Structure 1
């Protein structure tokens, strides 16, 4: 397993499909994973440390884990099949839960948990970066410093209709 860090999220053009970009902490490979708009917003909010007036799904999940006396220890990105990534949540109690990487990453950022990836996944889907590409990644990081999480909602830039409070 190789530890990875979240570089950030962005919307890929022309498809308007969000992706999260991970980078090996001890290496020069990047791992792009295409994700949904809601998860992109959740990851961006977590990275920016933004709070919301009401808990979003990933904030709620973190609160539930803590209320049950457990903690998220590690997220493991375990496989990729036909472009579909799989992850496992590993908790301090020893419990393991199958999850999508996008949800796992959003939760890991909120919990301060480490994110790791198998060598097989990095070999299959990782991209080795050159010095020029590293400069592009730095430009991407600068972009992330100025983008708002709401910009990842929906292809039109409009947020989805809020769920009614019950």
Structure 2
């Protein structure tokens, strides 16, 4: 397993579908995972420190974990099959729960939990970005700094 950071979310064009971008902590690979608009908003909220007036689902999950005294110790991106990613939530009790990566990432950001990815997943779906392409990555980071959750709301077609 390799530790990854959440670079942020963006909308992939022309499909208009959100993705979350993960990056190897000790490496040059990036892992894009296509996610839903609701999950993109939840991840963006967590990264921007937005606290909604009432808890959203991932906030509720965090509150439940705190209330029952259980800690989320690790989020694992474990597999990719036919373009569908799989994750596991690992708790301090040793309990493991299968989950979608998008929900897992949103919860990890709220709890400060480490996210790791299977080497096989990075080998299959990861994209290596050589140092000379870091300018493009920097532009993406700038985009992430200015994106808002509202950017992921779908609008009716005209």
Does the TM-score normalized on the shorter chain lie above 0.5?
Answer: yes
Paired position in structure 2 for 1:93: 93
Say what the alpha-carbon RMSD is for the aligned residues.
1.0
CA distance in 1 between counterparts of 2:25 and 2:147 reads: 24
Aligned twin of 1:38: 38
Tell me how far 1:42 sits from its aligned partner. 0.3
SS at match of 1:64: helix
What corresponds to 2:75 in structure 1?
75
1:131 aligns with: 131
Show structure 1 runs of 4+ deviating over 3 A.
none
Shift of 1:152: 1.1
How many residues get paired? 156
Give the 5 Å matches for 1:31-70: 31-70=31-70
Partner of 1:163: none
> What is the CA–CA distance in structure 2 between the aligned matches of 1:51 and 1:141, rounded to whole Å?
22
How far has the Cα of 1:29 moved from its partner? 0.3
Show the counterpart of 2:146.
146
1:53 match: secondary structure: coil
Aligned equivalent of 1:84: 84
Which runs of 5 or more residues in structure 1 are unaligned? 158-166
CA shift for structure 1 position 131: 2.5
Counterpart CA distance in 2 for 1:55 and 1:47 is 16
Aligned equivalent of 1:106 = 106
- SS of residue paired to 1:54: coil
Q: Deviations over 1:78-132 (max 9, x none)?
A: 0000000000000111111100000000000000000000000000000000224
SS in 1 for 2:97: strand
- Aligned equivalents of 2:134, 2:43: Cα separation in 1: 22
CA distance in 2, matches of 1:25, 1:87: 18
Distance in 2, matches of 1:73 and 1:133, equals: 33
TM-score for the superposition, normalised by structure 1: 0.91
For structure 2, the 5+ residue unaligned runs are none
